[in-house]
Structure 1
Amino acid sequence: MLLPSTRESLPHPSDTHVRGRRDNETVRITVGDLEPGRVGLFDPDAGTLLAEGRLAEFPSLVALFEHMRPRWVWSDTRRWAPLLLTAGVRIERCSDLRLSAAILEWSTDADTSRTEHPPRPSWLAPGPAELALDATHAAASIPGAAAAPATASSADRVALFELDELDDVADGGPREGRIGEASGAASDALGRATPHQVADEHDRQLAIVARSARPPRLRLLLAAESAGALIGAELTAAGVPWDSATHDRVLTDALGPRPRPGAKPARMEELAAHVRIELAAPTLNLDSQVELLRALRAAGIRVDSTARWELREHDHPAITPLLAYKRLARLLSANGWGWLETWVIGGRFRPDYVPGGTATGRWATSGGGALQLPKQVRTAVVADPGWQLVVADAAQLEPRVLAAMAGDLRMAEAARGRDIYQGIVDAGVVATRGEAKIALLGAMYGATTGESGRLLPRLARAFPAAMALVDRAAATGERGARVTTLLGRSSPLPPASWRATQARATEPDATAQDERRARSSARDWGRFTRNFVVQGTAAEWALCWMAGVRARLARLGELEDQSDASPPATAAGPVFARRPHLVYYLHDEIIVHTPAELADEVAVAVRESAADAGRLLFGEFPVDFPLDLSVVQSYGDTGD
């Protein structure tokens, strides 16, 4: 129920009884459990319990306060947001304490400020990415230098994240790339807390950020991560529009008719029979790696694994049908008829996204495999009647992010308005686009031998700042220390086994093999940290891009609510039935489902949001983030 202090004032947006601290005129309301089955809304700055009610009443209570544009603060968006979306309630912004705590717990930028405050409370369980991190830590922080330009002004950012005191993220001058280590924390998986406990934890996090090495950057990262949490919940609620009949035709064309339970599709059986003949192994089970490897070697095919890349290196009549079999087996297991029946319901595929689900900040999924949709089934992603899909992906995102992070003007120039690999060729660095791609991807992912290793010195001469940034990150990882993204997300420490390997190599009786193993494992971890700083910052750009798209779509949706030009997309749920909305995200690619009459405006919004994300992170540094953008009826029509 509403408490007396707010009951009469709610119809009047100008008269707010929610007082206290504001982020650019935005109040905050904390959400928590009062007792089992009851929820409370609390104004921590006024010390007022605003409303309470049964869990079923939570959406209506939130709807009464949303006109004030508050920042909702809660433990976990994955718990609270679905309740709202199911009831037709959409909020503008939130602070997700679980995701924020995970960032602050490991960020090297918060090493000192974190020790000045109590540890994370036991009710705030660690996030998915944190569970994979090594809990051991070192006390030292090892700084590293990396020049970069000033970033955008607070005026540019306020419209997107409504953050208070968000000055230039780089403080108007060169940025220092910080490299170091941080600590872990105990946790509890329940995640239940009162509104007062939620407020206390939010205050703790705000204080850590305020005393961190780079407060504006961390503040932006936490806001972007929380916006991503809302987007993840909304993607699941809206779902990807899916044509099951088209999907079934794709499977039938590739595999043959659907087999009886326990049997293989006809096309797979044909290929398996061909492989058995060529390998002279009539009882071979192609799904058994052990049996297949034995049969390949018996036929004179010298392989160490059954990986496709290794099989392709051999010229034998069994290889082509075997590779075809493996492709179909993958399609059947990942997106076959069983997947279709499980994940596509009522014309929508609703994957369970996990924002911040990896160490770099990239998303994961806990079901549905949305991050690995093969090209064959993309034709089943079909807009509703009267609607269209706006499909956009950021072209060569990570190389552009690297150029901007490093402040490498020549590399940014090679990328401006064109394919960056061709730009590297045009700059006279290498001879072909293929060489440029091999060299640049090798620099970012640590492929420093072979053809990539031969070309890397040319890149280093042409783009010294960019190459120095990733080389420093690799060297830091090889020492077992941490690297940190542009906004402040830090890499995990190497596991205890890695440290044991390094320690063994320094012992008096260490063998040459011990030393080789230590060097190899150090290089492996260096390859991880080399890419972490680039991939992690690219993930930050993508969060800002999507947050911008989400905000612009909301404004377009307010106009569309007054129109009935397109039939409603009822399967998208009560919030999105008449509004353009995000339905898919894959690292650097998004899909918006939109009424056809708004498609052009949505395309503009998607492009403008990409440009805004670049300015938000990198200011006026001259790097662009072009999009490959299509307005289509089916995802399969993009030609990717």
Structure 2
Amino acid sequence: MVAVPGVGVALAFGDGGWAGHADPAAVLTDVEAAIGPRWVWWSARGAGSPLAGGWRQSADRGPALSWDLAAVHRILRGGHRDDPGAVWAATRGLPVPPLPRRARGDGQLDLLAMVEQQDDVGDVDDPVGLDGQLRLGWVDETLGATAAGGPGVRLARAARFARLALVAMAAQEQALSTLPDPRASPGRLPLALLTARAESAAEVLARELERDGLPVDRPTATATITEIIGPPPVGDAGEAAARRTRDAPVLRQLSSSVDLRNPASVRAALAAVGIDVPDTRSGRLRALSAAHPVIDELLAWRKAERIATTYGHRWLATHVGADGRLRGRWHGSDGAAGRMTADAGLHNLPAEMRVAVVAEPGHRFVRADLGQIEPRVLAVVSGDPELTRATRQDDLYAPVAARLGVDRPTAKVAVLAAMYGQTTGAAGQALRQMRETYGVALAYLDAADAAGRSAALGAAPATPLRTFGGRRIPLRALPADADGDIGRAAAAYGRFARNAVVQGAAAELFKAWAVTVRQALIPLGGTIVLCLHDELLLQVPVQTAEAAVAATHRALDATAAHWAAGSAVRFVADIAVISRWSDAKP
């Protein structure tokens, strides 16, 4: 399917036919209800997306099944380039083409682009040139706001583009089916294909989250912000005065010349009052709160400064609409491990502000949090039998602590140190204990670390490093750091790789779970209003809240049964019905 702005939508079918319609939203609704197809588009967000302007369906929900060529391209190739030209070239085994030159403000192509097009003779209505590449600028010429031609001509051209989408999908399916399936699950759909379908559905979910937003009670948000930083400042002078007011309690304890927004300056000022620290991270300072009253003042200042500069009155006015919904741009996957991300503070909302996230009248939130997801995923992807046994308990760190002969906090440090490559201090000792007890898991992480280091030094691995679900992790040669120490840069890239194979797999499991929950909520009248790393926040009518809890549990069981088929790893979720986000336990 390809949407033409201001004209309609062109659909290409598997039998070679095509059709044009004036209303993309109605097509989604009617065809979805009639035959429930798997929709194929170049990108849920990009040019030709029928989701860009919203849609209508039962419960105003988007399509159930889709294939997003850009999202699947990122799985297969990694990196950030996922425009139609790059996607098409990859499916044909061609080099990545240059980005198309955009039209000038007067609608005319620049001279070099005109020369390139004159050199590429053939059917100018065909999106593919004689070199097999997607023609430079063809998408903009067909779908752009200033594109030439009547509605019938433009829809016919868009239909040719839609046919290419079906060709590209078939090539991507073939490429995915050739990737190794790490699960002991003969007869099942290859895991990489499951990943592609879940990632495509996650892109639709991202568009819904972007469109619908997160419910925020404006009076509560205003009162909370005011309590922390005071009323909205008036003009630049008011902002400067508010800043001086925030700074004053700390500066009374330290030199008035200290720059509180410069960590080096703060560290020097602390040393002057007898507090010598290697850095000024909050966790380190919090442990020293009894050493000097300035520590508590500094921590309180940081909280207020963050609210004032990022989540203050201006943020509230800019990002929370008149309907009380916080909206920002959503991304189905980042460029590294593939986690969902969002703008406008949706993924970094301070704990103090969660009190303002309130379910709307007649509704409740269902908050579902995957328990200790990354170590459980590590047990699956590595196949470590000892770590797998630990996942049978609700608290995975308890059996790990027993096996290592340490307390629970130390066991947690050991597991995190293994995944993040920390080797110094108490974490280093814990990691040595992990290596002896959970050798299979550590060998898996070490192999990823070695691949990252080798790539950084210019030695590409024989086969691309991929997550459990098949996503290619982008590795490349890196320059030396500012000190000219390429070894330090390589070590950092090794730590990135060892973490990416776990975080990336966890992101794939999470998104597969989220899109399964999304479908289960349709008959319950509920929606997902936030995806936060390993946490889902659902809004559902009061009368279906308990049914949504049960459906969310079932969705996790079903997802894990497919994703971790052949593994005895147990996944758990803490799920609660609440009225406001802050009611959830930390």
How far 1:312 moved relative to its partner? Answer: 5.2
**1:548 paired residue number:** 516
Distance 1:241 1:124, change over 3 A: farther
Q: Hey, what's the Cα distance between the residues in 2 that align with 1:406 and 1:206? A: 31
**2:114 paired residue number:** none
The alignment status of 1:75 with 2:45, answered yes or no, reads: no
- The number of aligned residues is 503
Query: Could you say what secondary structure the match of 1:361 adopts?
Result: coil
Distance 1:387 1:398, change over 3 A: same
Correspondence 1:514-553 to 2 at 5 A:
517-553=485-521
**1:232 paired residue number:** 206
What percentage of residue pairs aligned between the two structures are identical? Answer: 29
Q: Deviations over 1:584-619 (max 9, x none)?
A: 001100011000000011001111111112111111
- State which of 472, 475, 480 in structure 2 corresponds to 1:493: 475
Q: Deviations over 1:79-129 (max 9, x none)?
A: 43242337846321221122222222239xxxxx9686345677899xxxx
Which shows bigger deviation, 475-484 or 342-351? 475-484
Query: Could you say what secondary structure the match of 1:479 adopts?
Result: helix
Q: Deviations over 1:354-411 (max 9, x none)?
A: 111231100222x312111111111111111111000011011000000011112221
**Corresponding letter in the other structure for 2:26:** S
How far 1:434 moved relative to its partner? Answer: 0.8
**2:66 paired residue number:** 94
**1:162 paired residue number:** none
Q: Deviations over 1:43-98 (max 9, x none)?
A: 33222222232xxx221233231221111211221243242337846321221122
**Corresponding letter in the other structure for 2:27:** L
**1:207 paired residue number:** 171
How far 1:270 moved relative to its partner? Answer: 4.8
The alignment status of 1:219 with 2:183, answered yes or no, reads: no
Give 5+ residue unaligned stretches, structure 2. 80-88, 102-133, 144-157, 182-189, 456-460
Which shows bigger deviation, 114-123 or 206-215? 114-123
**1:103 paired residue number:** 75
How far 1:553 moved relative to its partner? Answer: 1.0
Q: Hey, what's the Cα distance between the residues in 2 that align with 1:32 and 1:200? A: 14
Distance 1:626 1:326, change over 3 A: same
Q: CA contact under 8 A between 2:14 and 2:166: conserved in structure 1? A: no
How far 1:310 moved relative to its partner? Answer: 5.6
Distance 1:445 1:621, change over 3 A: same
Q: Hey, what's the Cα distance between the residues in 2 that align with 1:233 and 1:121? A: 28
Correspondence 1:416-431 to 2 at 5 A:
416-426=392-402, 428-431=403-406
Distance 1:615 1:123, change over 3 A: farther
**2:445 paired residue number:** 470
Q: CA contact under 8 A between 1:254 and 1:267: conserved in structure 2? A: no
TM-score normalised by L of structure 1: 0.72
Distance 1:441 1:633, change over 3 A: same
- State which of 300, 307, 312 in structure 2 corresponds to 1:336: 312
Q: Deviations over 1:446-479 (max 9, x none)?
A: 1122211112222222222111111111111111
Correspondence 1:567-582 to 2 at 5 A:
579-582=525-528
How far 1:186 moved relative to its partner? Answer: 12
How far 1:195 moved relative to its partner? Answer: 3.1
Distance 1:597 1:115, change over 3 A: closer
Q: Deviations over 1:409-456 (max 9, x none)?
A: 221211213211112123x32320011011000000111222111122
Give 5+ residue unaligned stretches, structure 1. 1-29, 108-112, 126-184, 502-512, 558-578
Q: CA contact under 8 A between 1:405 and 1:486: conserved in structure 2? A: yes
**2:254 paired residue number:** 279
Q: Deviations over 1:487-526 (max 9, x none)?
A: 111111235415x99xxxxxxxxxxx86xx2332221111
**1:43 paired residue number:** 12
Question: Considering only aligned residues, what root-mean-square deviation do their CA atoms show, in Å?
Answer: 3.1
Q: Hey, what's the Cα distance between the residues in 2 that align with 1:477 and 1:258? A: 48
How far 1:323 moved relative to its partner? Answer: 2.3
- State which of 542, 547, 554 in structure 2 corresponds to 1:608: 554
Q: Hey, what's the Cα distance between the residues in 2 that align with 1:65 and 1:433? A: 54
Distance 1:307 1:495, change over 3 A: farther
Q: Hey, what's the Cα distance between the residues in 1 that align with 2:435 and 2:556? A: 29
Distance 1:268 1:80, change over 3 A: same
**Corresponding letter in the other structure for 1:41:** A
Q: Hey, what's the Cα distance between the residues in 2 that align with 1:198 and 1:309? A: 53
**Corresponding letter in the other structure for 1:207:** A
Q: Hey, what's the Cα distance between the residues in 1 that align with 2:549 and 2:241? A: 43
Q: CA contact under 8 A between 1:414 and 1:420: conserved in structure 2? A: yes
**Corresponding letter in the other structure for 2:53:** L
Q: Hey, what's the Cα distance between the residues in 2 that align with 1:447 and 1:458? A: 13
Distance 1:414 1:492, change over 3 A: same
Q: Hey, what's the Cα distance between the residues in 1 that align with 2:437 and 2:275? A: 43
Structure 1 segments, 4+ long, off by >6 Å, are: 120-125, 185-193, 265-268
**1:443 paired residue number:** 418
- State which of 545, 558, 568 in structure 2 corresponds to 1:622: 568
Query: Could you say what secondary structure the match of 1:546 adopts?
Result: helix
Q: CA contact under 8 A between 2:24 and 2:50: conserved in structure 1? A: no
